[in-house]
Chains A and B, each alone.
Chain A
Amino acid sequence: MIPAPFEYVAPKTLDEALRLVDRHGDEAKIIAGGHSLLPLIKLRLAQPRYVIDIGRLHGMSYIREEGGQIAIGALTTHADVERSPLLRSKCPLLCETAASIGDVQVRNRGTIGGSLAHADPAADYPAAVLALDAGIVAASTSGTRTIAVTEFFVDMLTTALRPGEILSQIRVAPLTERTGTAYEKMHQPASGFAIVGAAARLKLGPGGKIEEAAVGITGLGPNAYRASGVESALLGKKASEKLFSEAANFASQGIDPLSDLHASAEYRREMAAVYVGRALGRAYARAQGKP
């Protein structure tokens, strides 16, 4: 419950923050909402020498349209994502995913940037941003770069962010015609994290054929991933419940699922198929304009 001592710096600008991150390297941890880092610090599982608070940076909490895309500032809270009218109409998957995170208090404080940068293997957002083919914008003293989300989640608690980089923005494409998305999650009953979380995006073409399919899965392996086996089983086929359940069987292809107190590897594997199937079913219904 009681953190070990650390030094605290609260930069006022992103530039200042980046310089601090550069200077302190491994000895520093970045805090935004604090809902990934503080739990570790309180149990002394993390004992950083410096805590760099980027929570006070101006202009990093926003959801806006920018050049045909939707840009979400890293400091946007889960609650703001959940309630954003813009996202509701143009990217409801993020609203739905945000609403499934933790509880009201956690959503009021935790940020999308913090959650993605922390890359907890059971976090919810990773599945959704994978299904959305999001771009993750990383800032550093040498400028910004956009990381394709499929490259972003590298391993347990490890992302493609380089030392000295701060996740500054998430970019997603707005929903197109005849596209549906859904997030389906089995909650770990104590923590509320995902035992399995499946995010699906389906675009229907002429004759009900699946034109685009993207499925992101969290909770199963050390990091969230795109279920390419599921996607290729769907593409070009005519959508049906049967197709979904067959395709869903590829949910854990190539993955060695985690096994813990709450679910064995075998059960996680089976549930991945179930939840992917459900997410596909709901995404399909929505693509047809059903709720």
Chain B
Amino acid sequence: MPAATRYLGKAMKRKEDPRLIQGLAHYVDDLVLPHLQYAAILRSPYAHAKIRSIDVSKAQAAPGVSLVLTGADLRDRIGMVPCAAQIPDMKSAPRPVLALDRVRFAGEGVAVVVATSRYAARDAVDLIEVDYDPLTPVVDPEKAIQKGSPVLYDDHKDNIAYRWELEGGDVKAAFKNADKVVKQRLLNQRLIPVAMETRGVVAEYKPGERQLTVWSSTQIPHLLRTQIAAMLDLPEYSVRVITPEVGGGFGSKLNVYAEEALTGYLAMRLGVPVKWIESRRENFQTTIHGRDQIDDIEVAIKKDGTILGLRVRAIADLGAYYQLLTPLIPTLTGLMASGCYKIPAIRVELTGVLTNKMSTDAYRGAGRPEATYLVERALDLVAAELKKDPVEVRRKNFPKLAEFPYATPTGVIYDSANYPRSLDLALKLSGYAKLRREQAKARKQGRVMGVGISTYVEICAMGPSSAMPAGGWESATVRIEPSGMVNLMTGASPHGQGQETSFAQLGAEILGIEPGDVNVIHGDTAIVPYGIGTFGSRGTAVGGTAAYMALMKLRTKLATLAGFLMEEDPSKLVFDKMKIFSKAHPKKSIGFGEVVAAAYTAKTLPPGMEPGMDATSFFEPSNFTFPFGAHVCVVEIDKETGDVRLLKYIAVDDCGNVLNPLLVDGQVHGGIVQSFGQAMLEEAVYDEQGQLITGELTDYAIPRAADLPWLETDRTVTPSPVNPMGVKGVGEAGTIGATPALANAVADALAPFGVRHVDMPFKRERIWKLMQKGTRRAK
């Protein structure tokens, strides 16, 4: 990144916002096409049942209904929901678009109605009669793998989806040489992503052109197009996917869902456009869930706090079927099990389990929050065991700066870091020493106060293609139009992250023009070159780098042409304020537009130069990036009720170089608050019958404005060597770094009650009971 910049690194307000703040943006449900009809889906009330028969006759005869279909009607017409993840010896768990003869989770689609209005479609759903033969549901993942448990699939002998192991370093020796072994079971509860916009699809088929257009609220338009084409057996060129405005994803729209192919099929079959909009209840039941992992950890330590080894036995509840990346997500926990520490020996044993629940998959952080949580809890447990300050134990185990790039025993290479620097800054900003004094005073007064720390590292900018099922590169095409206006097309698919702005800043910086002259286009497979999408904190680090490369190609071409026109050395030219000029003779300049026009009129081109002004780049990163940071927080617990109040939150994040600090702050705040949700409020609860009893926002709480204190954020900057801009990615930092800080604070607060560990979420009753128990024990 250039040292002195005009736009990059500046807090520019967003280009996206005018349409969004005036109600002029178009989300998928805002689209209306002529003759549009509406689909509604009947969903299974049972978690596990055989379908004996389905009678659709009354629904078919209902007013306004044009079509009713069941799984049997679609058996040979739409392929299975795809899973891109492959793990050796993994059992299959494919999901049909609508259930065939068996349902495996409450909410699974059983039949679909299409009618002329939303209301008519919904009414007809109630008229479908299904005769179910209920089976015993498998809900608890640990019971699911015991002998004698009912099995979800007739062709499987048990519910174990796979076993996966990872070992690096001499684990046996580490535990043999340990002074102590610290053990703990940690539950990382099931979460519901709750993007504020539910999923939705509109599809239109033009038979003459053989063109199926699918508008979907997705994070991955191109991968979706490929998969829809495969599921519907269409040539890929016959499918166009457009993402309209997307109202949040958090990983839940990094998927290929049954309804996306189904709505496309319905539009083809009926010859009219069809819209399906997910209700919030459906969103809770049938959009992917996150986390749901049980981790038994053992840490081998020396008395001085040095960590020798870590053993993790993890059980991941995958749900009933594989969605796009379901089996892969928990393996990321294994990759990141070293945290930001030098742990010489690590062994991870992971068991993926099938249960009668909705699939888990990538939810903001995806596998890494689980890793960070277990490592950061482990560090605090070690500190408690040795009666040391958690800061001291962390410092003791950081790798030395000279060791970077640092290779972990889990097989990843941390690109660059300065862990002590971010920790020092967080401690300074929080007044850590003073906080500890305040805590001691509070305890004397009988108040229950805790201080929590987390120093985290995450794996981002997904990623090298070798590690990614569908490739890990990203694309960009930059086209400077004859007028000098720039269209920048990115294969990333932002949905709130603000890349229409930050990529415009990038374009303006490189070409010496105004950000207003750079129009960023994304999310339309007919316009944008094939791309991978927005997830895994990759938008800027991979997508942005592709844009950077394409822009640099054009800059080189512009310089060559300008040099030719001005008779100056192209390598000495400067691009600034809509002009191109030589450093040596700054008064002699040529207008940016003039050079572009020359490229199109093509009358005075240097020999061998092609006319026109566009370039495409595909950036393949050589490694992931590893952003990191240090968070400190303070909680106080109401002794009488167990209510946990977050009083103070300090976050220092290092995501490398920053294109727009406003956007980075927004990502950090949002991530921390989502983490707060996991720590304090959120848990998807299924009862013994496999019913999701947190099935609506009236029972599943997500954070509200009044729940939170002011968040204090700051940054350190350690550029990544993996890409030319030195950026790392920040989309998931908050959800990875913050959860353990909050958990450590609560455990710290409860230490006087003899509590070592509490599982999330820290609901009042759970905390209250622990305090009661602790008080009774003390008496």
Which residues of A are in contact with B by a Cβ distance under 8 Å? 1-2, 4-5, 43-44, 186, 189-191, 261-264, 267, 270-271, 274
Q: Does B389 contact A (CB under 8 A)?
A: no
Q: Which residues of A contact B279 (CB under 8 A)?
A: 1
Q: Which residues of B contact A263 (CB under 8 A)?
A: 764-765
Given contacts A186-B641, A189-B701, A274-B641, contact A261 B694 (CB under 8 A): yes
Distance in Å from the Cβ of B231 to the closest Cβ of chain A? 28
A-B contact count (CB 8 A): 42
CB pair A261–B685 under 8 Å, yes or no, is yes
CB pair B123–A5 under 8 Å, yes or no, is yes
Q: Which residues of A contact B694 (CB under 8 A)?
A: 261
Q: Does B122 contact A (CB under 8 A)?
A: yes
* Chain B 747-779: CB-based contact to A (< 8 A → 1; otherwise 0): 000000000000000011100110000000000
Within 8 A of A (CB), among B658-685: 681, 685
Closest B residue by C-beta to A245: B640
CB pair B699–A261 under 8 Å, yes or no, is yes
CB pair A261–B693 under 8 Å, yes or no, is yes
Q: Which of B280, B281, B768 contacts A267 (CB 8 A)?
A: B768
Q: Does B697 contact A (CB under 8 A)?
A: yes
Q: Does B698 contact A (CB under 8 A)?
A: yes
CB pair B641–A190 under 8 Å, yes or no, is no
Q: Does B119 contact A (CB under 8 A)?
A: yes
Q: Does B438 contact A (CB under 8 A)?
A: no
CB pair B699–A267 under 8 Å, yes or no, is no
A/B interface sample: 15 pairs, CB < 8 A: A2-B119, A4-B126, A5-B123, A44-B126, A186-B641, A186-B643, A190-B681, A190-B698, A190-B699, A190-B701, A262-B763, A263-B764, A264-B765, A267-B764, A267-B765
CB pair B765–A4 under 8 Å, yes or no, is no
Within 8 A of A (CB), among B599-650: 640-641, 643
Q: Does B183 contact A (CB under 8 A)?
A: no
Q: Which of A5, A189, A270, A271 contacts B681 (CB 8 A)?
A: A189
Q: Which 4 A-B residue pairs are closest in the complex by CB-CB distance?
A: A190-B701, A189-B701, A2-B122, A191-B698
Which residues of B are in contact with A by a Cβ distance under 8 Å? 118-119, 122-123, 126, 279-281, 640-641, 643, 681, 685, 693-694, 697-701, 763-765, 768-769
CB pair A190–B693 under 8 Å, yes or no, is no
Closest A residue by C-beta to B683: A261
Q: Which residues of A contact B280 (CB under 8 A)?
A: 1
Given contacts A5-B123, A261-B685, A261-B694, contact A271 B641 (CB under 8 A): yes
Closest A residue by C-beta to B277: A1
Given contacts A1-B279, A261-B685, contact A190 B123 (CB under 8 A): no
Given contacts A1-B279, A44-B126, A274-B640, contact A190 B765 (CB under 8 A): no
Q: Which residues of B contact A1 (CB under 8 A)?
A: 122, 279-280
How far does the alpha carbon of A263 sit from the alpha carbon of B701 in the complex, in Å?
A: 14
Closest B residue by C-beta to A271: B641
Closest B residue by C-beta to A193: B698
Distance in Å from the Cβ of B350 to the closest Cβ of chain A? 30
Q: Which residues of B contact A261 (CB under 8 A)?
A: 685, 693-694, 699
Q: Which residues of A contact B701 (CB under 8 A)?
A: 189-190
Closest A residue by C-beta to B699: A190
- Given A186-B641, A189-B681, 10 additional A-B pairs, CB 8 A: A2-B119, A186-B764, A190-B698, A190-B699, A190-B701, A262-B763, A263-B764, A263-B765, A267-B769, A270-B768
How far does the alpha carbon of A11 sit from the alpha carbon of B49 in the complex, in Å?
A: 48
Distance in Å from the Cβ of B581 to the closest Cβ of chain A? 57
CB pair B118–A2 under 8 Å, yes or no, is yes
Distance in Å from the Cβ of A268 to the closest Cβ of chain B? 9
CB pair B123–A4 under 8 Å, yes or no, is yes
CB pair B700–A190 under 8 Å, yes or no, is yes
Distance in Å from the Cβ of B695 to the closest Cβ of chain A? 10
Distance in Å from the Cβ of A273 to the closest Cβ of chain B? 9
Q: Which residues of A contact B122 (CB under 8 A)?
A: 1-2
Q: Which residues of A contact B769 (CB under 8 A)?
A: 267
How far does the alpha carbon of A290 sit from the alpha carbon of B122 in the complex, in Å?
A: 56
Closest A residue by C-beta to B640: A274
How far does the alpha carbon of A186 sit from the alpha carbon of B765 in the complex, in Å?
A: 12
Closest B residue by C-beta to A190: B701
CB pair A190–B697 under 8 Å, yes or no, is yes
Q: Which residues of A contact B697 (CB under 8 A)?
A: 190
How far does the alpha carbon of A262 sit from the alpha carbon of B643 in the complex, in Å?
A: 13
Distance in Å from the Cβ of A73 to the closest Cβ of chain B? 28
How far does the alpha carbon of A191 sit from the alpha carbon of B118 in the complex, in Å?
A: 27
How far does the alpha carbon of A44 sit from the alpha carbon of B122 in the complex, in Å?
A: 11
Distance in Å from the Cβ of A158 to the closest Cβ of chain B? 21
How far does the alpha carbon of A258 sit from the alpha carbon of B764 in the complex, in Å?
A: 17
How far does the alpha carbon of A267 sit from the alpha carbon of B769 in the complex, in Å?
A: 9
Q: Which residues of A contact B119 (CB under 8 A)?
A: 2
How far does the alpha carbon of A191 sit from the alpha carbon of B704 in the complex, in Å?
A: 11
Q: Which residues of B contact A262 (CB under 8 A)?
A: 699, 763
Distance in Å from the Cβ of A184 to the closest Cβ of chain B? 11
Distance in Å from the Cβ of B643 to the closest Cβ of chain A? 8
Closest A residue by C-beta to B694: A261
| Residue among B119, B123, B640, B693 having the largest count of chain A Cβ atoms under 10 Å | B640
How far does the alpha carbon of A245 sit from the alpha carbon of B280 in the complex, in Å?
A: 43
Distance in Å from the Cβ of B687 to the closest Cβ of chain A? 9
Q: Which residues of A contact B768 (CB under 8 A)?
A: 267, 270
How far does the alpha carbon of A262 sit from the alpha carbon of B681 in the complex, in Å?
A: 11
Q: Which residues of B contact A2 (CB under 8 A)?
A: 118-119, 122-123
Q: Which residues of B contact A270 (CB under 8 A)?
A: 768
How far does the alpha carbon of A271 sit from the alpha carbon of B698 in the complex, in Å?
A: 21
How far does the alpha carbon of A267 sit from the alpha carbon of B764 in the complex, in Å?
A: 9
How far does the alpha carbon of A271 sit from the alpha carbon of B764 in the complex, in Å?
A: 10
Distance in Å from the Cβ of A282 to the closest Cβ of chain B? 14
Closest A residue by C-beta to B700: A190
CB pair B641–A191 under 8 Å, yes or no, is no
Closest B residue by C-beta to A274: B640
Closest A residue by C-beta to B693: A261
Q: Which residues of B contact A189 (CB under 8 A)?
A: 681, 701
Distance in Å from the Cβ of A100 to the closest Cβ of chain B? 12
Distance in Å from the Cβ of A247 to the closest Cβ of chain B? 16
Q: Which residues of B contact A44 (CB under 8 A)?
A: 126
Q: Which residues of B contact A191 (CB under 8 A)?
A: 698-699
Closest A residue by C-beta to B680: A189
Distance in Å from the Cβ of B102 to the closest Cβ of chain A? 26
Q: Which residues of B contact A267 (CB under 8 A)?
A: 764-765, 768-769
Closest B residue by C-beta to A1: B279
Distance in Å from the Cβ of B122 to the closest Cβ of chain A? 4
Distance in Å from the Cβ of B61 to the closest Cβ of chain A? 16
Q: Which residues of A contact B764 (CB under 8 A)?
A: 186, 263, 267
Distance in Å from the Cβ of A222 to the closest Cβ of chain B? 19
Distance in Å from the Cβ of B514 to the closest Cβ of chain A? 41
Closest B residue by C-beta to A186: B641
How far does the alpha carbon of A197 sit from the alpha carbon of B701 in the complex, in Å?
A: 19
Distance in Å from the Cβ of A6 to the closest Cβ of chain B? 12
How far does the alpha carbon of A264 sit from the alpha carbon of B700 in the complex, in Å?
A: 17
How far does the alpha carbon of A267 sit from the alpha carbon of B710 in the complex, in Å?
A: 31
Q: Which residues of B contact A5 (CB under 8 A)?
A: 123
Closest A residue by C-beta to B766: A267
| Residue among A2, A44, A189, A270 having the largest count of chain B Cβ atoms under 10 Å | A189
Distance in Å from the Cβ of B572 to the closest Cβ of chain A? 62
Distance in Å from the Cβ of B690 to the closest Cβ of chain A? 15
Q: Which residues of B contact A274 (CB under 8 A)?
A: 640-641
How far does the alpha carbon of A68 sit from the alpha carbon of B108 in the complex, in Å?
A: 60
Distance in Å from the Cβ of B764 to the closest Cβ of chain A? 8
How far does the alpha carbon of A62 sit from the alpha carbon of B527 in the complex, in Å?
A: 60
Distance in Å from the Cβ of A219 to the closest Cβ of chain B? 14
Distance in Å from the Cβ of A43 to the closest Cβ of chain B? 8
How far does the alpha carbon of A28 sit from the alpha carbon of B131 in the complex, in Å?
A: 32
Q: Which residues of B contact A186 (CB under 8 A)?
A: 641, 643, 764
How far does the alpha carbon of A1 sit from the alpha carbon of B696 in the complex, in Å?
A: 12
How far does the alpha carbon of A186 sit from the alpha carbon of B741 in the complex, in Å?
A: 26
Distance in Å from the Cβ of B705 to the closest Cβ of chain A? 10
